[in-house]
Each structure stands twice: as structure tokens, then as C-alpha cells.
Amino acid sequence: NIFYFLLYFIFYSFSKPSIRGSTLSSRVVDSRDICSKSFMNSSIRTLLNFLVERGYDRDAINPKVLTRPSVKDFHNIIEFLFKQLDPNFCFADRFEDEVVTMFKHLGYPVPISKSNISAVGSPHAWPSIMAAIMWLCELLNYDDACVANPAADDTEDLSDKAFYAYLAESYGLFLQGDDEQHSVLEQEFQD
């Protein structure tokens, strides 16, 4: 479901005209009390449980590590979470740039600062990063619920689902360079 969402988002984001040079600037602020001790403690417990349930296999993860994580700890955690979306995910460029871009493409409503990612364990940066991680965990839990109960996802009709399935398989064939199989797939889709 997340894969289809990303394909849909990429397709439509490049097909719509962008507004450049706009004088309107709106800074979205997180409405949650992310700096409160109760939010942070609850988020640490939630993230710890999430990582354990999903089989996080890095160094020993514990609440102390999640209270003030190092950049390496954060890198490992965020890479693990992104691999929940796409098992083949790996960071190719600058880590900070890719994290910001990934959250932006997933639709996270609050901008993430690259400087906060560089200083992830600091008291001023960690709450906003933890809030983004909590949002990503909720997104992954929602995706699991949709996969477990496909009847609950009634927002797409059958033609959209068929198109997304075709698009995903077609893109895989494109990446493999298999033009003959792509022609067969295209004919099947048209039929």
C-alpha cells in the first residue's frame, strides 16, 4: 500500500505545475506538545516496542539509547524504519538530505531541519525528530492494518488497483530492461 501511494505521489507530483517564487510562506508547526517529558517518555516506549516487535537487529536498544541517541543510532533506526517501507532501501547520498526528502515525499506535514538531524541527540533537536519517527511508526502500523484487512481500504476502486498493480510490475520490468515481457504485460493490461 505504501509502495502504491509513493508511485501515485511521484506520478502526480511531477505532472502538476509548481508554484515558484510565491510570496506565501506558511510554516507548519506541530500541534503536539513534543517537548513535554510525558510525550518523550511515551514516544520512547512506543518506539522501543515497535522496534522490538519488528525485529530490529542492531546494537542493544534500550530507553537510555533512545533518550539521547547518537547520529549512528538514529541512522540505524531510521534506515530500519525506511526498510519497513521498502526492503531494498539504502542511503545513497547525504544522510540528512535523504531523510528530509523521504519524510517530505511521505507527506509528513512538519518540515524537518537538516541541522536537527546532524545534532539528533541534543535536547532542542530530538523532540522534533522523535515526533517525525512516531508519525512514521503510525504510518507503518496503518499500512500493516490495510494489508491485513484489504476490505477496509475502500478508497480505491478495482480499476485503480489494477492500474497500480500494472504500474508496479511494468516499472520492475523497465528496471530489468525486459522490453518483450513489458509488451506482453501491456497487452494483458489493455485486454
Distance between CA 71 and CA 138 in Å, rounded? 23
Could you give the CA distance from residue 32 to residue 45 in angstroms, rounded to a whole number? 17
Question: At a CB cut-off of 8 Å and minimum separation 6, what does 51 contact?
Answer: 61, 77, 80
Task: Write down the mean pLDDT value for the chain.
Answer: 80
Neighbour tally for 165: CB within 10 Å: 12
Residue 82 pLDDT: 92
- Expressed in angstroms, the distance from the first to the final Cα of the chain is 25
pLDDT at 16 over 60: no
Average pLDDT over residues 159-165: 77
Check residue 23 and give its pLDDT. Answer: 41
State the pLDDT at residue 18.
45
pLDDT at 100 over 90: yes
Residue 21 grid cell: 517564487
Query: What percent of the chain lies above the pLDDT cut of 70?
Result: 78
- Of 8 and 52, more confident: 52
- Residue 92: predicted pLDDT: 85
Mean pLDDT, to the nearest integer, of 103-115? Answer: 90
Q: pLDDT band for 4, please (50, 70, 90 cuts).
A: low
Predicted confidence (pLDDT) per residue in 28-81, tens digit:
676 677 778 888 999 999 999 999 999 887 667 888 888 989 889 999 999 999
The pTM of this model reads: 0.64
